[in-house]
Structure 1
Amino acid sequence: MDETYADRSLSLSHRAIALTGLLVSADGHRDLKEKYYASIAQVVGRVPNVVPAISEIHAARLLPGADDDARITFLNCIVDLILDRQLSIYRVGYFQSKKMMDTFGSERSIVGLCFFSMLQMLETALSECAIWPVMEADHSKEQDQAFAGQVQFADHLASHIGAAALSRDQMNLGEVLYSTKRSIYGAMVDCVAYLLNVKWVADQGLALSPYKRRLLKVAERLSPTVMHDEIIRMKFE
């Protein structure tokens, strides 16, 4: 999973906080890992008898030193991996209104709400297989409470009042694990989140730079794998 915080360069009515998830089968790890590193090597290049440092992938600052063509090539490789393996993408977010911030107190708390909503979206998948959520760690107590704590509390609650009383069946839901940007999955979902955010900005009718117009074409290729993508404008009574 990867969070996307509000772009402060946009007007308040167009700011949103979102969480993007990529559902990956554990059985496909070996092949996916091999193809991912091959995609990086295709762009960065190989030098005989030289082992370069690991490329840390940050979509917003993708492959420093590379040109836009190389970046687009790499992102298309990531999309190819997702399409070829029929991985599923889930994305949910909330508009960052003043009332939302007053109610939840921080962007991280809203990301926690996104995680709750994402688990609701995964109800069908959870009925078919075990899912272990993985989040990039920021080592904060607030993040751990919003992610791991949310799952742990629901498990704790079920042990006292019964699983039937919960809003979802989480018998197949594993505890939240944490990774870093050096993780291939963290890097892949970071790219997916960035691409989908570019598409969302375009869908809002906002202007894109020439580079982001090229990214939009890459993002549109992901459509067959997007199971759910929604940015919610919360209403308060």
Structure 2
Amino acid sequence: MAIEPASVDWSSARRASYLVRQTFRYEYPEPIRDLSHRLVVIPPERFGDQRRLWHDVSVALDGALVENRNDRFGNVIFDVFAPRVAAAIEFVAEVSVERRPAEPNRLADGWLADGYLLEASPLTQADDRILRAADDLSAVAEWGLPLADRINDWVYQSMTYRYEVTGVRTTAAAALELGAGVCQDYAHVMLALCRTCGLPSRYVSGHLLGQGGTHAWVEVILPT
């Protein structure tokens, strides 16, 4: 039985289980050969207060080869190879997770020292405006959660949520110059600022209760 998220007092919930089912379908105007596709849709076995109970990924294409591996964060990566796709390929991913809010959201040792969380990616390179904003924000907020909160507020005030003005290759600098974008653009701008300010952080894709599509946000890793 489906539960309306707004009807639940989540602050009093001792345990919650979620079932997520996603279908991805890619269609092509003509047959293609040597398809290589990567799916990053299954979360780690355990992360903070979230525990993965089970998962499954199926591919609706005869002859497709599916391999899986874990990335550096524990996410399950599915690599799909197919010698030929006539018109379309479809993936179905299912995962069940459980959360217990009483458990602390703590990570394994070593995350804060991981240089990857401070390195700019091709989409989060800081331009002059981002560098200036990082200097201004660092000057008025203490390093750590106060600075992360200030960056979050600054990005929210500097951007307007608007569809179809950016794409998957839009950089943080370009989105900020435009002053508009969707969740991935907000996340890229915040990542660029956090990492420039020395806050270890990463891009996260996941689900919000009551919404079908995936969303993007930023996770900032701080010492306890």
Tell me if both proteins adopt one fold, taking TM over 0.5 as the criterion: no
Output the TM-score relative to the length of structure 1. Answer: 0.20
CA radius of gyration, larger in: 2
Output the TM-score relative to the length of structure 2. Answer: 0.21
Structure with a larger share of its residues in strand = 2
Structure with a larger share of its residues in helix = 1
